Amino acid sequence: MESIQAIKQRFGIIGNDPKLNRAIEKAIQVAPTDISVLVTGESGVGKESVPKIIHQLSHRKHGKYIAVNCGAIPEGTIDSELFGHEKGAFTGATSTRSGYFEVADGGTIFLDEVGELPLTTQVRLLRVLENGEFIKVGSSKVQKTNVRIVAATNVNMFDAIKKEKFREDLYYRLSTVEINLPPLRDRKDDIHLLFRKFASDFALKYKMPTVKLTDDAVHLLMKYRWNGNIRQLRNVAEQVSVLEQNRTINGVTIQNYLPNTGSNLPAVVNSTKSESDFSSEREILYKVLFDMKSDLNDLKKLTMELMKTGSTSEVQKDNEHLIQKIYGEDKEEEFEASMDNLEVLSIPAHTPNTIQTDDLPIETDDKYHFAEEIEEEETLSLHDKELELIKKSLERHSGKRKLAAAELGISERTLYRKIKQFDL
């Protein structure tokens, strides 16, 4: 069995991190078997190296090795790509085609981004893992294949299972052995080694002197988060090698190639997001309140009309549009029910009236002038009361609009219609 160091040199793996060494060691140990392996880790950590190690150290090394990016194949054609299809199976199938599982019989298939597989394809893959059988698209003949499957993903598989985007039984079949590759930020001592290797390769490729980093530049690279991991570090090394005339790179220069430096604190991002969400919710609440105020004023207008005419049918006929706006689809039943419960006031005509509002007498000769004055005063005070009541109700029910609407006496269907109407 080859040593870990020999494997690193053979496959061009740079680094001495204990977690990286453990991952390589597991790949070496599992290679002689036919156990399915799941390689996990963030995007850009180099997951594609592990299946190559497993294949080359296995008894299948003389068989075919096929790497398939599951996320790059359209959902409508991935079954055909993996399992093949018969002539005429679908539009454009002008001939019979062999899939990867048939071509790689006796070898190894690397399924990269396996978490992106459609659920229907996951069922087919599970059958291959369980008994080595598959059926071509458009065929009824069961075929056998003897392939070893090594899969890789950068998604959290347990979250995908919880969201029903990935089958739990397939996950346990794929992850008989799970090999995790650590992110670059957890391999700080390897960062400078990798940069030097990349810089040397690009200097040879572009026929130019190799760039060298000062101590402050090395410190900055080690401090950086590297969300893109090794792939991102390689891109930075290439940019610096090509664009910089000075072959000695200091911290100020290297910082220009590191996007979002110093903005990796999650608390800052979460704070901004929370403030944005609160502002959005507050804006929606304001719109709902203004909507309610408008409906109340419209309802007062209908009440005034009823007080003047004393006839429900006449009010409904003359204010059809207004009733439709307030009551919506259920306007007839709700309006008639509301009017049945309303006591129409009989007010003597041409009777001088003196009413007290905030201790100020108001002399009125018009029959309905006093009602309009009251309406104006109530509108101002109701707005404040509405705002206060709705705030308290939403706080009491933890933002649940259904319970708040019920408590405030607002129809949930009407509230939903208003929110939809104004595209809230």
Q: For residues 283 and 416, state if they share a domain.
A: yes
391, part of any domain: yes
Percentage of residues in the chain having pLDDT higher than 70: 69
In a domain, 331, yes or no: yes
The residue out of 214, 230, 255 marking a domain boundary is: 255
**Do 195 and 99 lie in a common domain?**
no
Question: Residue 87 belongs to what domain range?
Answer: 4-182
The residue written with tokens 């000062």 in the block is 214
pLDDT single digits (tens) 218-253: 999 999 999 999 999 999 999 999 999 999 999 999
- Please indicate, yes or no, if residue 261 is contained in any of the structural domains: no
Rounded average pLDDT over 78-92:
92
End-of-domain residue from the set 137, 153, 182: 182
Bridge partners, residue 175, by sequence:
none
| 175 CB-near residues (< 8 Å, 6+ apart) | 36, 37, 38, 157
Q: Please indicate, yes or no, whether residues 293 and 396 belong to a single structural domain of this protein.
A: yes
**262: in domain:** no
Residue-level pLDDT at 407: 76
Residues 232 and 290 in one domain: no
| Alpha carbons 379 and 40: distance in angstroms, whole number | 63
The pair of structure tokens assigned to 33 is 């078997």
Question: Is 298 in the same domain as 329?
Answer: yes
Q: Which of 189, 178, 184, 418 is nearest to 296 (CA)?
A: 418
Beta-sheet pairing, 177-180 with 212-213: unpaired
Same domain, 347 and 294: yes
Domain stop point among 158, 182, 206: 182
Q: How far apart are CA 414 and CA 403, in angstroms?
A: 14
Predicted confidence (pLDDT) per residue in 251-273, tens digit: 999 999 998 744 444 434 444 44
CATH of residue 24's domain is: 3.40.50.300
The answer to whether residues 168 and 298 belong to one domain is no
Mean pLDDT of 29-47: 95
Are residue 54 and residue 151 in the same domain, yes or no? Answer: yes
Q: What is the four-CA torsion angle of 397, 398, 403, 408, rounded to 10 degrees?
A: 60
350 inside domain: yes
CB 98 within 8 A of CB 84: yes
Greatest CA separation for the chain: 112
Contact 187, 226 (CB under 8 A): no
Closest Cα to residue 50, out of 192, 160, 201, 177? Answer: 177
* φ/ψ (deg, to 5) at 140: -115, 5
pLDDT in tens, 187-213: 999 999 999 999 999 999 999 999 999
Count of the separate structural domains present in the chain: 3
- C-beta neighbour count of 288 within 10 angstroms: 21
C-alpha radius of gyration, the chain, whole number? 36
* 191 and 178 co-located in one domain: no
For residue 210, the domain's CATH number is 1.10.8.60
24 and 155 share a domain?
A: yes
Q: Which residue has the higher pLDDT, 51 or 307?
A: 51
Long-range contacts of residues 205-213, Cβ cutoff 8 Å, at least 24 apart: 206/241, 206/242, 208/241, 209/247, 210/241, 210/247, 211/237, 211/240, 211/241, 211/244, 211/247, 211/248, 211/249, 212/247, 212/248, 212/249, 213/249, 213/254
Q: Quote the CA–CA distance of 148 and 32 in Å, as a whole number.
A: 11
The pLDDT tens digits for 265-316 are: 443 444 444 445 556 677 777 777 877 877 787 777 767 767 766 666 666 6
The SS3 call for residue 346 is coil
What does pTM read for this prediction?
0.61
SS (H, E, C) 40-90: ECCCCCCCCHHHHHHHHCCCCCCCCEEEEEHHHCCCCCHHHHHHCECCCCC
Residues 14 and 85 in one domain: yes
Same domain, 143 and 240: no
